[in-house]
Structure 1
Amino acid sequence: MFRFFSFALCAAVAPLHILHAEPASSSPPARKQLVVVSFDGAHDNRLWEKSRAIARKTGAHFTYFLSCTFLFDKSQRSTYQAPHQKRGRSNVGFAPDKDDVVTRLGEIWLAHQEGHDIGSHACGHFDGAKWNEADWDAEFSFFRAALRDGWKNAGAAEREPKEWQTFVSNDIKGFRAPYLASGKALADALKKAGFVYDASLVSKGPVVPAQSDGLVRFALPLIPEGASSRPVIAMDYNLYVRHSKGKEDVANGPTYEERTLAAYRAAFDKQLAGERVPLQLGFHFVEMNGGAYWRAMERFLTEVCAKPDVACVSHREAMDILAKEKKAGEAAPEAL
């Protein structure tokens, strides 16, 4: 599975859409500091279990951006036709067998019941920067059908939870583009497909998610990292490329873990003492450099999530919290 994953992430990436951070004020506001952690791909069942255990330990809620080809085994690959690709092709592969799919469907359901946010990472992890609206429509339709018919396709229709269809219809509201590559046609296709937020942007430092094109837009921030404090996207793969040039270096994993944890702490502390803009951190269901980045994430969340002025939330929860804050601010009387 890692071979597929490495190929997918190392392929050419379209230019990223980058937002700019607002300047911080001199004193922190009264609102809580939000920490928003997400996982792209959401395939390895062992890491589903591990991430849910971390959530229980820390009190966090996560967002899982699912790649839908992992709801089909290799014998079913011909059912998938990605835009402008050969039928049955996926940059991240498929599930090894139907038992693996059934386990994954169960993990998705348990995560949903535990308050986590399940979003879409499309299906075969292709660069859609040049896709038109019809291309995205086809990808989103296949994603929705893959979830809707997942239990039946895996030969386990009798195990489908009673509320599964309601969940698929009503609760998949967020999206992150593969490679963070989003073109002009994406926004209209997202709205048509019923999504309410897009987490495909990158920002020069943490920014407050804003309404744009009828969607709430989330951005992974650039954060200072390492002895020279060079900015890097706050995602495990980008750290992996910086630290070991995208090749496994388990021997130096503890060093990379400490560097990553220090970067997370510094980014968090800056926001906690400043504007308290939500801090977003991204991960994948691959433990790169011997699990250095997942270990740093678990240690970081263990430190911060229990603080009384911190909330470790999913994208959906962050969106709702920020909307309530905005509404309350607009309703507050002006100071004399």
Structure 2
Amino acid sequence: MGMGLDRRQVLAAGAVGAGALLAGCGASATAAGPPSSSTAAPRRASRRSERLIGDGSTADTGPQPHQPRVHQLAKGEAPPQFVVVSWDGAGETSSKLFSHWLEVARRHEVPMTFFLTGIYLLPGTQRHRYAPPRHAVGASDLGWLPDRYVHATIRQVRRAWLDGHEIGTHFNGHFCGPAKGVSTWSVDDWLSEIEQAQEFVTTWRSTTGLTDEPPLPFDYGKEVVGGRTPCLEGADNLRKAAAQLGWRYDSSGTRLATWPTKVEGLWDLSLQQVPFPGHDFEVTAMDYNIMFNQSEVTDGDPAMRDTWRAQARDAYLAGFRRSLEGNRSPLVIGNHFEQWNGGIYMDAVEQAIETMAQEPQTRFVTMRQLCDWLDAQDPDVIAGLQGLTGAPEGGWRGWEPGGTAAVR
């Protein structure tokens, strides 16, 4: 269960090609969610006021729809089993995985967090507008989306927010590794990167020339309260920069099956390590990390894919079951809009969601909604949960936050 970066624990991948996409309080699994729809066309909120911001790329339309009410735990009440499904570098390309997962989310009534890469809303012809820290102007390890995919991504981001999902950030150029990667960036570098991501999202009308597309229905500067760094690197200085901006959380690391704590004033909502079926070590709850431990390449032996799909699904479920039957620590899953090994990791996540949703204690939430719940609890309750390494001795009914109940 070590945290070392060997074959057992790899960091999130960088892009595999110029056109590759990196995908990059609790509503119950049976609670009413956004209305079902089979169309991927953009929808404007009905009867919502609209105050255009800047060049009209974004607009303040009021509170986000489909947000749950926060419940404060009572004495002897078990916390819900929170599950966060998140996507790094959300964007819509020919694979249409963004729109696909919005349909999956509606079908299973699962709010999700989409970490939007800022340059996915910037046409390649405008790449000179991006001055990445420690790299040449216009550089990007992700490549640049064709205009039609920039347009499609704008539509899906709008749809996602109206459906109640969270829009966070995956920043811009996805630079990893020790040679000028994000792990080498200063606080000022991160502040510049964040400012540019915000600029690209809030000026797409000017940079794309689109005039017939409605604005994104939210104030992006207020909406983004957290993100995840490329390859899970550079979190220390990113969190210092994020604290200056008033962010609420960061999800740029890995953690054991424990309740979140605050770092630099932000909730650390890092990815959880989960048991890896058939092995004596754990793996980060992310598609790339599981894939690397199975095949080391993104197009491994097709004969193994059924086995790998089941193993990935069962890894997510093993982490879920351990938390559910133990200390109820939130399970944070991170994935990418990729078809690695024939898309088996897309299948594995959806199959795991279907099983998790059958448990009445499950609450699917966004990162932001999880922060809402954590912030609404009595500090003694949170401190008590943070101290649990397993279920309270004698069960939750006899557990007193701040007390000295033993754990098992």
TM-score (norm 2): 0.71
Shift of 1:227: 1.0
Tell me whether 1:291 sits opposite 2:343 in the alignment. Answer: yes
Contact 2:92 2:152 in 1 (8 A): no
Specify the SS of the correspondent of 1:246: coil
Partner residue of 2:285? 234
Counterpart-to-counterpart distance in 1, 2:401 and 2:273:
36
Count the aligned residue pairs. Answer: 312
Counterpart-to-counterpart distance in 2, 1:84 and 1:29:
50
Counterpart-to-counterpart distance in 1, 2:315 and 2:376:
30
Counterpart-to-counterpart distance in 1, 2:92 and 2:189:
27
Partner residue of 1:32? 80
Cα shift readout 1:140-161 (whole Å, capped 9, x = no counterpart): 1100111111233221144233
Detail structure 1 runs of 4+ shifted over 3 Å in the superposition.
4-9, 325-330, 332-335
> Which of these two proteins has the greater Rg computed from alpha carbons?
2
Counterpart-to-counterpart distance in 2, 1:308 and 1:224:
23
Greater Cα offset, 219-228 or 149-158: 149-158
Q: 2:89 aligns with which of 38, 41, 66?
A: 41
Amino acid at match of 2:171: A
Amino acid at match of 2:317: R
Ranges in structure 1 where 5+ consecutive residues have no aligned partner: 10-27
Shift of 1:133: 1.7
Partner residue of 2:60? none
Partner residue of 1:217? 268
Amino acid at match of 2:206: K
Counterpart-to-counterpart distance in 2, 1:43 and 1:236:
17
Greater Cα offset, 271-280 or 304-313: 304-313
Q: Which has the higher helix share?
A: 1
Partner residue of 2:173? 124
Across the aligned residues of Structure 1 and Structure 2, the Cα RMSD in angstroms comes to: 2.5
Amino acid at match of 2:138: G
Contact 2:123 2:207 in 1 (8 A): no
Contact 1:63 1:315 in 2 (8 A): yes
Q: Which has the higher strand share?
A: 1
Greater Cα offset, 301-310 or 81-90: 301-310
Shift of 1:190: 1.0
Contact 1:61 1:312 in 2 (8 A): yes
- Give the alignment of 1:251-262 within 5 angstroms: 251-262=303-314
Same amino acid, percent of matched pairs: 29
Contact 2:22 2:338 in 1 (8 A): no
Specify the SS of the correspondent of 1:41: strand
Specify the SS of the correspondent of 2:143: coil
Q: 2:202 aligns with which of 148, 151, 171?
A: 148
Counterpart-to-counterpart distance in 1, 2:168 and 2:110:
17
Partner residue of 1:323? 375
Contact 1:176 1:200 in 2 (8 A): yes
Counterpart-to-counterpart distance in 1, 2:233 and 2:209:
34
Amino acid at match of 1:81: A
Cα shift readout 1:19-48 (whole Å, capped 9, x = no counterpart): xxxxxxxxx961110111111011234111
Q: In structure 2, do the counterparts of structure 1 residues 334 and 148 end up closer, same or farther at CA, with 3 Å as the change threshold?
A: closer
Q: 1:91 aligns with which of 125, 133, 141?
A: 141
Amino acid at match of 2:344: A
Counterpart-to-counterpart distance in 1, 2:237 and 2:276:
34
Counterpart-to-counterpart distance in 1, 2:239 and 2:313:
34
Shift of 1:106: 1.1
- Give the alignment of 1:74-85 within 5 angstroms: 74-85=124-135
Cα shift readout 1:4-33 (whole Å, capped 9, x = no counterpart): 377999xxxxxxxxxxxxxxxxxx961110
Cα shift readout 1:164-222 (whole Å, capped 9, x = no counterpart): 3x42121111111111112543222112334221111211x222121221211111122
Shift of 1:229: 3.6
Shift of 1:287: 1.9
Cα shift readout 1:111-143 (whole Å, capped 9, x = no counterpart): 011111111111000131221122111111100
Q: 1:109 aligns with which of 135, 158, 166?
A: 158
Contact 2:309 2:347 in 1 (8 A): yes
Q: 2:223 aligns with which of 163, 166, 171?
A: 171
Cα shift readout 1:80-119 (whole Å, capped 9, x = no counterpart): 111111111101111112x221211110111011111111
Greater Cα offset, 249-258 or 131-140: 249-258
Ranges in structure 2 where 5+ consecutive residues have no aligned partner: 1-14, 24-75, 176-180, 383-399, 404-408
Counterpart-to-counterpart distance in 2, 1:7 and 1:159:
23
Counterpart-to-counterpart distance in 1, 2:80 and 2:166:
20
Counterpart-to-counterpart distance in 2, 1:190 and 1:105:
25
Specify the SS of the correspondent of 2:258: coil
Tell me whether 1:137 sits opposite 2:191 in the alignment. Answer: yes
Partner residue of 2:353? 301
Specify the SS of the correspondent of 1:289: helix
Amino acid at match of 2:267: V
Partner residue of 1:3? 17
